[in-house]
Amino acid sequence: MNAVVIGGSRGVGFAITRQLVKSHEKICIVSREIHNLEKALLSIGESKSRLFIYQGDVSKKNFGHQLFKYLQDQNFGVTNTLICNAGGPPQKLFLNTTESEWDSVIETSLLGQIRVFREFIPQMVETNFGRIVFVSSTVAKEPSPAMVLSATARSGLSAFVKATSSEFAKFNVTMNVICLGGVLTERLDSLIEKSASAQKIDAFSVRQKMIDSIPIGRFAKPEEIANLVTFLVSPEASYITGTSILIDGGLSKAYF
């Protein structure tokens, strides 16, 4: 099997990449930054998978087509597994958001990933097999005022997956969303720092308050997210499709 991992060079995306090299013949890691891609290759080192890298920005309208063409030119073969892990937008209250920020989040977190899906789904239909996972956030189910940008785009993505999964289920293609809570990544550190600055308190206090609100009592490790993704793209998960799965240590109160 072959996999494409959008946003696969850092954080949760990189943890997913490291897991998939154990089970996939070829993997293409995609990122906006070439130095992150090169660092990811060095970190993975020897692998039984053949690794490809592609630098590009998912928010660009021609990104999906160019990525698909690049893989064709490289004789990558059929992409069986597609992981869409576009970066998240900044924390902002609605009145502080700008038109350009709304354009950016919709193009990156929603439309950009849909365009990638549109490029790769015909292959999966033709070969009668595919596994697609979109990495999202719990704000898709429990929106918060400071995350209005993210909540709007990500809830739209969940609706898209629910709507289209039924269309492609008969082709043995599964599509799911995983909604993350706090995960130990650089992005989490950045969000905590910005929250602390806005509240004019120290970052340690913000971090501890967040941890205290999680029933399991800690943030997730990126590898724990990767474990879920590895299961969802495996044959054992063939009956799971069209759903948004919370992986947040019990933090969310949503039951649907």
According to DSSP, residue 23 is labeled T
Question: Which domains are seen in the chain, by residue range?
Answer: 2-184+220-246 (3.40.50.720)
pLDDT value of residue 90:
83
How far is 85 from 220, CA to CA, in rounded Å?
Answer: 17
Angle between helix axes 222-232 and 11-20 (nearest 10 degrees) is: 50
Band (48; pLDDT cuts 50, 70, 90) = low
Q: Which of 2-6, 47-51, 131-135, 240-244 has the lowest mean pLDDT?
A: 47-51
Is the pLDDT confidence value at 151 over 80?
yes
Q: Can you give the pTM of this predicted structure?
A: 0.92
Is the pLDDT confidence value at 221 over 70?
yes
Q: What is the mean pLDDT of residues 211-219?
A: 90
Band (97; pLDDT cuts 50, 70, 90) = very high
Is the pLDDT confidence value at 196 over 80?
no
pLDDT value of residue 237:
97
Is the pLDDT confidence value at 75 over 80?
yes
More confident residue, 255 or 118: 118
More confident residue, 49 or 24: 24
pLDDT value of residue 255:
66
Is the pLDDT confidence value at 172 over 70?
yes
